[in-house]
Amino acid sequence: MAQMATDQQHRTDERSAYAIAIRQLEAAAHYLNLDRSLLEILKRPRRELTVNFPVKMDDGSIRVFTGYRVHHNPARGPAKGGIRYHPEVTLDEVRALAMWMTWKCAVVNIPYSGAKGGVVCDPKRLSIHELENLTRRYITEISMLIGPESDVPAPDVGTNPQVMAWIMDTYSMHKGYTVPAVVTGKPIPIGGSEGRLEATGRGVMVVADQALQQIGRRLDGARVVIQGFGNVGSSTAKLMHQAGAKVIAVSDVRGGIYNPNGLDIPSLLHCAGRDGCLQAYRDADHITNEELLELPCDVLVPAALHGVITSANADRIKARVIVEAANGPVTPDADEILDDKGVLVVPDILANAGGVLVSYFEWVQDLQSFFWEEEEVNQKLEKAMRRSYQHVAQTAEQNKVNLRMGAYIIGVKRVAEATIIRGIYP
Ligand code: GLU
């Protein structure tokens, strides 16, 4: 019984996102020989806001929702990061996600610091009006933090361009004039960027290509398994398929589909986002999400939630390369097992940075009121991702560490440098 409790406790700790984020930061601090007090600064979020707010529901009742917005470290620029709508959002998770945004922006060298927001809710069980009411009220509640120079939200799990449009409109209504640069991931007619919707998937595809090259393989013909078929998972499937890879399995919250000869991705893209889309697909075996992660493949792309590859299943992973499209899908304990097995893991703070990179391009375009063509956006994205991958791979090699630690060394060093150069006020 005592052993069971310990195992349970171990699993819970292993999956605490903030505990994981701290552990990763401490490991990087060790390689960088970081000053103790600097580490203390970087460990803690600069500010955290919790809001409990009422929302009018369609049946006339009023429900109180809880939301958060966390700023991790302001050293390199305005706070940047998505807003998550999910029933299991916690402050612990939002803290971790904010910290990961700090390193992610630093790894791809864009002038932002990390933030994240979330509301505890199940967006699938809210009507469109309830979702709009919830968004407008949440944004009003956190309005003391957000703004184009201070904190720029974006989409994350459970939010989409329409939610970003309501955020832009709500903020603009309060200001009395239109402020497109307050949020990114907006629809194109109101200042969104070409290429933003597919940006995370495109970045994932580019780094998958580089990781395969690193192990002497090619993306063309590679067998790809994707967990998650939301915006990131479906864009990744589309772009990988177009690049000649064979997508053999995909999944959503209800489960996955697997065909070793490849799935008909164009037909699946028609129903992506609709409930039951994958379940209605005939030409494949229907499998669980756990089974999907353990399929033999060249590239495994976890594109759903954190903590899905742990010490409990890492040993059974058969992929050659894992590209973390989600934030935090592989725990540090699992990392060690995967390293020993020779699985190359491209870490989230590099692998999914395509999203925030194009968010940065969107913000720059909004501030200048001058918009770029999709080709230009995609080229700039690909160049930045390839350059960042090479930098991370070189740093990893020089320090004899894995790609995650290579990325952390770059990210944490840049933020530490900025903190030292700016100095401690007063
Ligand atoms: N939510 C995305 C992420 O985790 C995008 C953030 C952004 O574009 O600001 O990277």
- At 2-52, the pLDDT tens digits run 344 343 444 446 668 999 999 999 999 999 999 999 999 999 999 999 999
Asked, for residue 30, whether it belongs to a domain, the answer is: no
Asked, for residue 307, whether it belongs to a domain, the answer is: yes
Query: From ligand 1's centre to the CA of 59, what distance in Å?
Result: 34
Taking the C-alpha atoms of residue 194 and residue 359, their distance in angstroms, rounded to an integer, is 10
We report the CATH number of the domain holding residue 71 as 3.40.50.10860
Ligand 1: which residue has its CA nearest to atom 7? 356
Residues 420, 344 share a domain: yes
**What does the pLDDT look like over 366-378, one tens digit per residue?**
999 999 999 999 9
Binning pLDDT at 50, 70 and 90, where does residue 97 land? Answer: very high
- Using DSSP's 3-state secondary structure scheme, residue 56 falls into strand
Residues 208, 164 share a domain: no
The pLDDT value given to residue 14: 67
Query: From ligand 1's centre to the CA of 92, what distance in Å?
Result: 18
The average confidence (pLDDT) of the chain is 96
Query: From ligand 1's centre to the CA of 155, what distance in Å?
Result: 6
Q: Taking residues 341-365, what's their average pLDDT?
A: 98
Residues 169, 285 share a domain: no
In ligand 1, the atom with minimum distance to the C-alpha of 104 is: 10
Residues 153, 224 share a domain: no
Q: Of these residues, 116, 186, 238, 246, which one is catalytic?
A: 116
Q: Taking residues 66-85, what's their average pLDDT?
A: 98
341 is catalytic: no
Whether residue 315 contacts residue 339, with contact meaning beta carbons closer than 8 Å, is answered with no
Q: How many domains does the chain have?
A: 2
Taking the C-alpha atoms of residue 40 and residue 251, their distance in angstroms, rounded to an integer, is 40
Residues 172, 244 share a domain: no
**What does the pLDDT look like over 203-223, one tens digit per residue?**
999 999 999 999 999 999 999
Residues 282, 152 share a domain: no
Asked, for residue 274, whether it belongs to a domain, the answer is: yes
How many angstroms separate the Cα of 133 from the Cα of each of 65, 137, 167? 11, 6, 11
**For ligand 1, is residue 159 a contact (CB within 6 Å)?**
no
**For ligand 1, is residue 154 a contact (CB within 6 Å)?**
yes
- For residue 352, give its domain range: 194-366+374-426
Asked, for residue 40, whether it belongs to a domain, the answer is: no
Output phi, psi for 65, to 5 deg.
Answer: -110, 155
Q: Taking residues 120-144, what's their average pLDDT?
A: 98
Q: Taking residues 125-154, what's their average pLDDT?
A: 98
Asked, for residue 353, whether it belongs to a domain, the answer is: yes
**For ligand 1, is residue 405 a contact (CB within 6 Å)?**
no
Residues 209, 137 share a domain: no
The pLDDT value given to residue 6: 40
* Domain boundary, last residue among 179, 205, 231: 179
We report the CATH number of the domain holding residue 389 as 3.40.50.720
Residue of 112, 88, 85 whose CA lies nearest to 101 = 112
pLDDT at 354 over 50: yes
* Domain boundary, last residue among 131, 156, 179: 179
**What does the pLDDT look like over 147-176, one tens digit per residue?**
999 999 999 999 999 999 999 999 999 999
